[in-house]
Structures are given as C-alpha cells and as structure tokens.
Amino acid sequence: MKKQLTKIIDVNKDKCINCHACILACPVKYCNDGSGDHVNVNFDLCIGCGSCLVKCTHNARIYLDDFSYFLKALEKGEKVVAIVAPSVAANFPDKYLNLNGWFKSIGIEAVFDVSFGAELTVYSYLNYIKEKNPKLVIAQPCPAIVTYLEIYKPELLEYLVPVDSPMLHTMKMIKHFYPKYKNHKIAVISPCTAKKREFDETGYGDFNVAYKSLDEFLKTSNIDLNNYEPVDYDNPPAERAVLFSSPGGLMQTAERWVPEIRYKTRKIEGTHTIYNYLKQLPEVIELGTAPLLIDCLNCENGCNAGSLTLVKDKSIDEIEFYINKRNLEQQNLYLNSPETQDSDYKKVIENLIKKYWKENLYTRNYINLSENNYIKTPTEVELWTIYNKMKKYSQDDILNCTSCGYEKCESMATAIFNNLNRPENCHFYLHKEAILSHEEILKSQKRLRNILESTSEGFIQIDNNGNIIEANPTLKQMFGEDDIVGKSAFDFLDEKNKEIFIQQLNIRNHQDNGKYELEIKSKNGEKIYCLISATNIYDDDGKKTGSFGMISNITDLKKAEQTIQNSEKKFRTLFEYANFGIFLLRNELIIECNKKGLEMFGCSTEQMIGMTLLQFSPENQPDGSDSESKLKIQFDLTLANKQPTFYWVLSRKNKTEFDSEISLAKIVLSGETFIQVIIR
C-alpha cells in the first residue's frame, strides 16, 4: 500500500548549490529531485539513512528531530521518561551517567538503558530461531534498512525478523513492567535520523532527540555535565549488549548463549555495502548459500557514528574504545556481583532477562510499501531519447563518470525520464556545451563558473606550453595540493605520460577538441587514472592561446577493468586445457569449442563453428521428450542466472550416439553475454 512517510530530512534551498553530492551519497538515489535549482527530497522514497547529511558540505541538508517539542513538553510539566541508546558511551565518553543526572534535573522522571532492551532483543531473536527454525533471519535494529526493504525489496520482508528493535523492546518493557510510567511520554536519546519512522510505524516513542541537538543545547546554554552527579539507569544493568551499537554487536551478544552463531552470521554495514548486498540476497537465498543471521547496520561504523552523532569524524579506534571500556565494566559487574558467586553468571543474566521478557510481547509486523516506489524504467528507445537530450549519440558517449551522482549514465537518464533531473547536470553535456563558440562561453561564464566550482569533476586551463592557468577545487584535491596555478602540468606526470601529453598538445594544434586517458601522480605519490576531454581556447583574433579540459577520475574503473581482464585470462587457460568439452554459444550458435570438444564429436573447428547443440541431438531423448523443447527450457533457465545440469544423449559426426552430462552457465566476457556449455 502507498503511504505518506514522515519528513525527517529537509533542504535549505538557499544553501544548496546543486552539486549532487547528496545524490552520490544516497543509496536509493531517486528520493532526490535534482530537476530544479536545488536538490529536493521525496520523503515517501527516502529511507532516512542520513548519508546526505554527512556528505553535504554546504549545510543544505538538515535533520529534523523532536528536541524542541521535547523541551516544551517538560516546560509544560508533562510526564516524560527517557531511553538512551548504547552509542551514548561513545558520544558522551565518561559522561553518559552525568547526562542522566542532567536529565533528572530538568524533570525527566526515569532514564532507561536501551542496552538492556538489546539484551531482551537477543533473547527474542534466539527464541524465534529456536521456535521457528527459519532458513534466514535479517536483523532489524536499523530503521533505514527496514524502510529500504519495505519500499524497495518487499520480497525480503518474510526474512526480516518479526521481533522489535532494542528501542522498541525498551519502550514495551516500560509500558508492561513499569506501570508507574505506563502513560508517560518517551523521549528517545538517539543517534539516528530514521528512528522517527520506526516510532510512527509502531506507535511507540514520542520524541526522537538527537545527540547533536543535545550537544548544541548544552554548549549554547553553558551547561557542563561534570557539574551533575552520575546517575545510573532505572532498569537492570545490561551485560555485553552494550556492544549493540557497534558493527557485529548483535552477534557478539548472541555468542554468549550460542557460541557457534558466529559461523552462521554475516556481519555487514555501510551504505555502499549493505544495500548492494541486499539487492543480491534473493539470488543467494535461491542458491542456498545465505547465512542464518544477517547482522546488518546502515552506518559504516555502526550506530556509534550514526547520522545524528558527534563522532562521525573520529577514528573507529577512538569510537570503539569507549564502547569496549563500558563492555568490560558491565561484564565485570556481573562477574563480581554477589548473585554470581555461587552460580553461573550467564544463568544469572538469563534469569534477569526472563523477568522482563514475555511471549508475544515484543513482536513486530512490517508494511509492504512497494507502491511508494513509482519510479519507471525507460525502454531502450526511451533511454536513447533521453541520451540524445544529454548530447550522447553513441555508446562511446556513455562514460559512467559519476559526476552527476548516479554513478551510471543509465541511472541519470532514468532520473531525467522520471522528471527527477535534467540533462544540464550531466558532465558530458557540459563538455559539449563547453565546445561552443568562445563568445557563447563568455556569455555563460557566470553560470559555468558556478558549475565548475561545485562539480565533482576536475577542471583545468593551460597555455600552449602546458602551464596551468586555472584549476577548480576538485582538480586541486585530485592533485593533492592547493597551489598548482602557475606550475607546469608536466610536474605531475612520469616520463611515459609526458610523451602522451606532448602528443595531445600537438594534436590540439590541428583539431579543436579531443578525448584521451592520462595517468597523473598526486603530491603524495598516488597514481590517478584520468579521462580528459580537452578543448582549444582562442583569442579574439582566432589565435590558439591554450586549452581547457574536464578531468574525470577513472581509477576505480581501471581497477575493475584489470580484474575483468585477469578473469578472462583464467577462463581462456581453462578453455584450452580442460579434459572435458567446453563450448561457447552466442544466440545458441557455437562460436568457440576447445580441443576436447572437437574430439568428442569427431569434427574440425570449421565444421563445428556455426552449429547448434540441437544439431548434435536426436529428435527425441530416451525418456520420449522432445529434444528441441527440452533444450530450450535449459537455455532459458541459464539466461535467468540458473546453472542447470542434466543428462543428454548426443550424436557424433559418424551418427553414433553417446550419453553425456551437460552443465550450462551464463558468462559475461568483455561486457557480452554468452552461454558456456560443459559436456562430460
């Protein structure tokens, strides 16, 4: 069903320069609308991960929490309790209990530790696994991931554990086991933008209060937490579930009860990792290679460095130091308590957890929001219509340079097709615009200057001798130094690339523009592969004074190409020396066959090429089935990414028949799809 989702990220249009850094950071892309002068957010498609908040250096993206409503509720004398996320230990190091003291001082009646809710969560997970014996469980403490699955991958909702998050466990625990606070409003002291979505969907939680809002208020109000006495939480202490905010914290807590769970768990986090993983997960499930438990978080360093935290710029070691410190303190607390002197401390923890755990209390249902995803995929004809508007007229113009933020030209074109962007935001379009007449360039200089200053592509202007006259901030960052104007472009090239550059300078004397690759070396010695689109500059008398170029960093693309080349080399070695027949089919026609395959059928290479597998098969198989129909089914399965293996009767050139085992697989070589046939 289609549902209007809560607005949790806003845009200051006056600060937005339309640089598309937010789109590049966003894992779902099309919740951003870049069709105007600034990039807007479609809240019904946004998963609330907060990646754009981190990447926007212009403060144009704004998080929306409930801090002001929280303060007003206290001012009006409303009854409020607070629950605090485990990541507080990293964000208010050695002061998180002082923070509790301050909460009590401003009228909050009780403060609960979500870490204990995490203990309950792990117990619920293990109970669900034991009772239901699922083949796969996707953990759900991260609301951004939950929203992503609800909108974009609803087919995975059946594997999303039907159990509440640690925060929901904590809130339900309060309502059920602390009747004194049953009707109190709950303020959630949170590291996460997306948590508000979870509260709205479940009906629990009143105020999402960001660490950032708290910290800003304390600083502007000159409040020193050291002036407040440390106050412990009002619920029982957690043990190792204080690790829950760290990557793998769920797994480490579950190991206390089930040590072997580590070997059945996939720990994965980070926006540019987890969502690609989830896209591929249905195929993995079908293959039967999925883990039992997926311990997943949206943020690369876990909730400790979530979108509303104070430590995103700190090293992982510093962040985790305070989490691990608290972990050791909590474990020692249980190991040294009187209750554990005469019994197993794990049993003591389990008995305590059971006091606050009740069957069916902490269950969770999810909503299929796939109707929110209205994005339409253009046909091939529609795609090229958009490409033409982007001044792309052939496959050579599809550069996938990533400057638009979508990473692929096809994705950018899809955004334009859905009225979420415009051709003018394409780097290639800008290059085509740039080769207009010098007079037209001067007229549009102000507009172009703003684009060049904010684009994620490098811009350089040189004279006829290769001296740098002008460079934009992106290029300076690429070269690793700010002061490059006045230097020679040759200073950043080795001998081999100097020769290439000289050739290109000479070419510019005979043609106005060109495109070539060059390897530069940055100040720190790093090698960067660049795609350069160069255009001549002339003075008013028509004399060439130099050239300018748009420079794309294609280092990652080059590395990927090398990986593909290595894979193809390995394939060719196997192809030639295998002791079984290998055939390569394009559109069911045999285009290559190894030596063993030729021997198997008694054919020469000339006789084999252009034949089909059906031509070597009798009309019917021994079971009476029609060979042509049955073989087509196997090919269709292969093109659908299955890898069928089946027994088959084949006929040699001399008409003698033999039994065989055939395995089919779809492979891609140099970007083209083939069917690989192995016959044993």
- pLDDT at site 435: 64
* CA pair distance 620, 649, nearest whole angstrom: 9
Nearest residue to 461 via CA among 449, 444, 443: 449
Query: Do the beta carbons of residue 103 and residue 82 sit within 8 Å?
Result: yes
- pLDDT at site 438: 46
Token match 């009767």: residue? 649
| DSSP state, residue 648 | E
* CA pair distance 620, 624, nearest whole angstrom: 6
Query: Do the beta carbons of residue 581 and residue 596 sit within 8 Å?
Result: yes
Q: Please check the confidence at residue 567 and state whether its pLDDT lies above 60.
A: no
The token pair that represents 311 in the structure block: 């430590």
Radius of gyration, CA atoms only, the chain:
31
Which is it for strands 80-84 and 32-33: parallel, antiparallel or unpaired? unpaired
The token pair that represents 29 in the structure block: 């892309």
DSSP codes, 303-343: GGG-TT-S-TTS-HHHHHHHHHHHHHHHHHHHHTSGGGSSS
Query: Do the beta carbons of residue 190 and residue 208 sit within 8 Å?
Result: yes
Q: Please check the confidence at residue 654 and state whether its pLDDT lies above 90.
A: no
Q: Which residues of 71-104 are buried (b: 16+ CB within 10 A; e: fewer)?
A: bebbeeeeebbbbbbbbbbbbbbebbbbbbbbbb
- pLDDT at site 409: 92
Query: Do the beta carbons of residue 115 and residue 90 sit within 8 Å?
Result: no
Q: Please check the confidence at residue 421 and state whether its pLDDT lies above 90.
A: yes
**What are the pLDDT digits (tens) for 261-292?**
999 999 999 998 999 999 999 999 999 999 99
- pLDDT at site 561: 62
**What are the pLDDT digits (tens) for 481-499?**
888 899 999 988 999 999 9
C-alpha distance from residue 576 to each of 327, 387, 572 (Å) = 57, 41, 6
Helix ranges restricted to H, 343-407: 345-355, 380-389
**What are the pLDDT digits (tens) for 114-151?**
999 999 999 999 999 999 999 999 999 999 999 999 99
Q: Please check the confidence at residue 564 and state whether its pLDDT lies above 60.
A: no
Q: Please check the confidence at residue 444 and state whether its pLDDT lies above 60.
A: no
Number of Cβ within 10 Å of residue 390's Cβ equals: 24
Position with higher pLDDT, 110 vs 587: 110
Q: Which residues of 473-507 are buried (b: 16+ CB within 10 A; e: fewer)?
A: ebbbebbbeeebeeeebeebbeeebeeebeebbee
**What are the pLDDT digits (tens) for 179-188?**
999 999 999 9
Position with higher pLDDT, 439 vs 44: 44
Helix ranges restricted to H, 356-493: 380-389, 409-417, 427-434, 438-443, 445-454, 473-479
Instruction: List Cβ neighbours of 200 (8 Å cut-off, separation of 6 or more).
Output: 5, 6
**What are the pLDDT digits (tens) for 293-334?**
999 999 999 999 999 999 988 999 999 999 999 999 999 988
pTM of the predicted model, to two decimals?
A: 0.66
The token pair that represents 396 in the structure block: 């050579």
SS3 586: strand
Q: Which residues of 232-241 are buried (b: 16+ CB within 10 A; e: fewer)?
A: ebbbebbbbb
Instruction: List Cβ neighbours of 536 (8 Å cut-off, separation of 6 or more).
Output: 508, 512, 513, 544, 546, 547
Instruction: List Cβ neighbours of 271 (8 Å cut-off, separation of 6 or more).
Output: 25, 27, 49, 51, 298, 299, 300
